[in-house]
Structure 1
């Protein structure tokens, strides 16, 4: 096979809107303080049309609460790089086994008949515990939301792209395989570990369709779930002396969606800012 030539000089110049004309679904974007919202803003800023999935009842039941979907949508639109891009949002309870395929269909319809990028950011919060505390209900709840729904989203997405080569899938994990693990969140760690483990298998399965599959571990990110001394203790474990902010992993995820990352697939990537565990 002949060697590929060096890229033409003009192709080395950075496009300010590298995702112009692309379409993306970002799940778990119910809050302006969350990673999903930050990812959606970055994708929109890069020119993509974006559909934001939210499940307000989940966040409303948590200590941090939920934002109004219209407020989240407005912040994403404010970052929009291409005025012709579409920005839309809608609900979905991904614990329902029928919901992932329905969400893909809804996003495709809202974005003009095509979906190029899938960012599966959602997860179940709470309903977890130590090895001694967990039970079958906790395990099943995390399996349904954190893992089963992601695989069903990937399945529905790839079926929709069966006649169109290329595409990007980004899943999320949580550093459960790094020193110390997550002994206080066994159900969550188990299901997130499953996504990390299946990344290579999915990337191989989808290689012929030229769809890249990568998983990002964002490390500790300040999404308003911790305050006080505990917050400061975590901040001190970063060399920079601060937590990760939602836009820190969002920049990596947005890059993985671009053509520049076309040769990166099957990877679990830690974006932890040097966090000392």
Structure 2
């Protein structure tokens, strides 16, 4: 398989599990040296490092809470220190707390904004100082930016809508420097964190009759990270099996 990202260095936030781990594996498979952050999943982070290294990939795990501005900035610095450069930033870290407006805790509101929105800005601000022509910033949003779908999703939808809007502005800020900025918006994706009854119901809403796989989201990220996406910027690319169709 062609190593389209050979010589590149990537940082994936929230990369120890789920979609983030799939992105780490795919970028490493495509030849990039990959650092990733984790917060509460140390065992999974160690397992991912072992897995990627066993396949011949260069990989580094960094403990960092994306709600902590300094930790996000330091993760960028550690990546550059370890690998000598930074070409690709994937802002994947995110948190989800459900709750309707009547009883949604302000502390949960603040944490969701800090992780889902502020960390995207802080990470990008730190990363682009090390990027040159051909740099890539890829944000992981959600179809919830366009459709809340259920009661209790207002704050999460707001944060993902903010990511989509921030992406457009950052694309304008960085376009003259040859750095592209895009958002990938996954739809319902298979995970063992959701009960099977809930997943079965979600499948009925999909045009393709199934939920997505982590690897399918990672494939879109790999395209945006690679050389063939140089004219794509400021876009929100939906990968949702027809959920919004």
Q: TM-score range by the shorter chain?
A: over 0.9
Q: Deviations over 1:25-75 (max 9, x none)?
A: 0111222xx00000011101111110121112xx5xxxxxx7432111122
From the superposition, tell whether residues 259 and 120 of structure 1 become closer, same or farther in structure 2 (CA, over 3 Å): same
The structure 1 residue matched to 2:128, chosen from 158, 164, 167, is 158
Task: Supply the distance in 2 between the matched residues of 1:75 and 1:243 (Cα, whole angstroms).
Answer: 25
| Structure 1 residue 197, shift from structure 2 partner | 1.1
Larger radius of gyration: 1
Q: Deviations over 1:159-186 (max 9, x none)?
A: 223xx32200000111123345453122
- Structure 1 unaligned regions, length at least 5: 1-14, 60-65
Does 1:174 find its partner at 2:142?
A: yes
Does 1:226 find its partner at 2:189?
A: no
Does 1:76 find its partner at 2:52?
A: yes
Task: Supply the distance in 1 between the matched residues of 2:88 and 2:148 (Cα, whole angstroms).
Answer: 33
Shifted more, 69-78 versus 165-174: the winner is 69-78
Task: Supply the distance in 1 between the matched residues of 2:201 and 2:52 (Cα, whole angstroms).
Answer: 32
From the superposition, tell whether residues 256 and 269 of structure 1 become closer, same or farther in structure 2 (CA, over 3 Å): same
User: Secondary structure, in 3 states, of the residue corresponding to 1:214?
Assistant: strand
Does 1:204 find its partner at 2:190?
A: no
Q: Deviations over 1:83-134 (max 9, x none)?
A: 4x521112101211211111100111122x10000001001233x4112222
- Paired residue for 1:35? 19
The structure 1 residue matched to 2:58, chosen from 80, 86, 94, is 86
Task: Supply the distance in 2 between the matched residues of 1:43 and 1:155 (Cα, whole angstroms).
Answer: 22
Does 1:17 find its partner at 2:12?
A: no
Structure with greater proportional helix content? 2
- Paired residue for 1:254? 222
Task: Supply the distance in 2 between the matched residues of 1:133 and 1:226 (Cα, whole angstroms).
Answer: 23
* TM-score normalised over the length of structure 2: 0.93
User: Secondary structure, in 3 states, of the residue corresponding to 1:216?
Assistant: strand
Matches for 1:122-133 after TM superposition, within 5 Å = 122-126=93-97, 128-133=98-103
* TM-score normalised over the length of structure 1: 0.83
Q: Deviations over 1:175-222 (max 9, x none)?
A: 123345453122222112111111111001001110000001111111
From the superposition, tell whether residues 182 and 206 of structure 1 become closer, same or farther in structure 2 (CA, over 3 Å): farther
How many residues are aligned here? 245
Residues 175, 181 of structure 1: 8 Å contact kept: no
User: Secondary structure, in 3 states, of the residue corresponding to 1:51?
Assistant: strand
